[in-house]
C-alpha cells in the first residue's frame, strides 16, 4: 500500500480522507490529489488568475483547492458530472455567489491582477466587465430595444439617443439578431422564440462592452438549430471576448472551446487543449467521463 499526504476523493465518490491510501493493485490516476491538476492549467498572460480557490455552502466544501488561469480571448469549457461544481466555480468569476447567504469563497481570484474579492472592489463594475448568460433565456419583460439598452443606460455609456441606438444595433448585430429584429425593436422580448431570446440575452451582455462573458449551459433550453446559432456566435465572439462556458454536452465543448477543464466532486482534475482532452486525456477519471463510463 502507498500513502499519499494529500486529500483524495475516490472515483466512486467515497468520503474524503486527509491521508489517502492507494491500493497497489489500483492505478494511482483513479484518485485525485487535492490541488493537483494534470495538463496545462496555467497561461502565460492570464486574464483571470485563480489560486487555491475553495467554495463552501455552509459546512459543505463544493470547490476544493482549485488553481487555474483563464487566458485572454480563449474559450474555455467546464465539464464534469452533475454536482461537480462547474456552475459554482463559474459564478465565482463575477461574484454571483455573493447573493447566496451560506456561500463563502476563499483563495486568490484576480482579474487583470486586481483582487475581485477585495471588499473595495466595485461588484457592479465587475459584472459589467464580466457579463453572464444563463441556462434559461431571461429577457426583461420590456421591448427588444430596452433589453439591450438597459445596461448602457445604467452604466451611463451613451450621452445621446443616437449613441444608444448605435450600441443597440451593434450589440444585436454581434449577437446575429439584427436582421431578424430590426423592424420590431419595440416589440416585447418575451414574444421571441427561445433561441432568439438567448441571443438577445447575449446582446444584452455584450452591450456594456464586457471583457469576459460567462455562459452557464447557454444552449440547454434550445433546439439544435438555435444551439448551432449560439455556437457559431461563440466562435465569432471569441475574437473580442474571453468566454467561459459550462456545458453538459461534450460535443459542444469539443466544437466551441480551445481548452477544456474537467471537474470531479469539486476538484479540478484536468485542463488541456480541448482536442487533447477528448482524444488522449491524461487522467483516468477524465477518460472515464468522456467515454461515458459515468456522468
Binding site for ligand ATP (CB under 6 A): 57, 62, 80, 82-88, 100, 102
Q: Among residues 40 and 249, whose Cβ is nearest to ligand ATP?
A: 249
Q: Among residues 13 and 194, whose Cβ is nearest to ligand ATP?
A: 13
Smallest separation (angstroms) from ligand ATP to the CB of 95: 14
Smallest separation (angstroms) from ligand ATP to the CB of 65: 15
Cβ-count burial 114-145 (b if 16+ within 10 Å, e if not): eebbeeeeeeeebbbbbbbbbbebebeeebbb
Q: How far, CA to CA in Å, does 215 sit from each of 27, 52, 100?
A: 35, 23, 19
Smallest separation (angstroms) from ligand ATP to the CB of 52: 18
**Cβ neighbours of 206 (radius 10 Å):** 24
Q: Among residues 9 and 87, whose Cβ is nearest to ligand ATP?
A: 87
Looking at the DSSP assignment, which residues form a beta bridge with residue 216? 246
C-alpha Rg value of the chain to the nearest Å: 20
Smallest separation (angstroms) from ligand ATP to the CB of 216: 8
64: its cell numbers: 476544493
Smallest separation (angstroms) from ligand ATP to the CB of 78: 8
Q: Among residues 145 and 263, whose Cβ is nearest to ligand ATP?
A: 263
Smallest separation (angstroms) from ligand ATP to the CB of 218: 13
Report how far residue 122's alpha carbon sits from residue 234's, in angstroms, rounded to the nearest whole number.
27
Q: Answer positive or negative: Cα dihedral of 77, 82, 87, 88.
A: negative
Q: Among residues 144 and 213, whose Cβ is nearest to ligand ATP?
A: 213
Looking at the DSSP assignment, which residues form a beta bridge with residue 267? 264
Q: Among residues 57 and 134, whose Cβ is nearest to ligand ATP?
A: 57
- Helix, strand, coil share (%) of the chain residues, nearest 5: 35, 25, 40
Q: Among residues 192 and 269, whose Cβ is nearest to ligand ATP?
A: 269
Smallest separation (angstroms) from ligand ATP to the CB of 118: 24
Helix segments in the chain, DSSP class H: 86-92, 123-129, 144-154, 161-174, 178-181, 194-206, 224-237, 250-256, 274-279, 284-290
Amino acid at each position: 500500500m502507498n500513502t499519499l499526504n494529500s486529500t483524495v476523493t475516490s472515483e466512486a465518490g467515497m468520503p474524503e480522507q486527509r491521508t489517502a491510501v492507494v491500493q497497489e493493485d489500483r492505478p494511482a490516476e483513479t484518485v485525485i490529489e487535492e490541488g493537483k491538476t494534470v495538463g496545462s492549467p496555467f497561461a502565460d498572460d492570464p486574464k483571470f488568475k485563480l489560486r487555491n480557490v475553495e467554495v463552501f455552502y455552509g459546512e459543505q466544501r463544493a470547490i476544493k483547492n482549485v488553481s487555474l488561469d483563464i487566458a485572454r480571448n480563449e474559450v474555455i469549457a467546464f465539464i464534469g458530472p452533475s454536482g461537480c461544481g462547474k456552475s459554482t466555480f463559474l459564478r465565482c468569476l463575477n461574484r454571483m455567489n455573493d447573493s447566496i447567504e451560506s456561500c463563502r469563497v476563499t483563495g486568490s481570484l484576480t482579474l487583470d491582477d486586481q483582487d475581485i474579492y477585495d471588499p473595495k472592489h466595485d461588484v457592479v463594475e465587475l459584472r459589467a466587465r464580466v457579463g453572464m448568460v444563463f441556462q434559461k433565456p431571461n429577457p426583461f419583460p420590456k421591448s427588444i430595444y430596452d433589453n439591450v439598452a438597459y445596461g448602457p443606460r445604467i452604466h451611463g455609456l451613451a450621452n445621446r439617443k443616437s449613441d444608444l441606438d448605435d450600441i443597440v444595433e451593434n450589440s444585436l448585430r454581434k449577437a446575429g439578431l439584427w436582421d431578424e429584429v430590426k423592424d420590431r425593436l419595440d416589440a416585447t422580448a418575451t414574444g421571441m422564440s427561445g433561441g432568439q431570446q438567448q441571443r438577445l440575452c447575449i446582446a444584452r451582455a455584450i452591450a456594456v462592452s464586457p471583457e469576459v462573458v460567462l455562459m452557464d449551459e447557454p444552449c440547454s433550453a434550445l433546439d439544435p438549430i438555435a444551439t448551432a446559432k449560439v455556437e457559431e456566435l461563440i466562435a465569432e465572439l471569441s475574437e473580442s471576448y474571453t468566454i467561459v462556458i459550462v456545458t453538459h454536452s461534450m460535443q459542444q465543448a469539443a466544437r466551441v472551446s480551445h481548452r477544456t477543464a474537467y471537474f470531479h466532486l469539486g476538484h479540478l482534475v484536468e485542463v488541456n487543449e480541448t482536442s487533447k482532452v477528448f482524444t488522449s486525456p491524461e487522467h483516468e477519471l477524465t477518460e472515464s467521463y468522456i467515454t461515458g463510463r459515468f456522468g
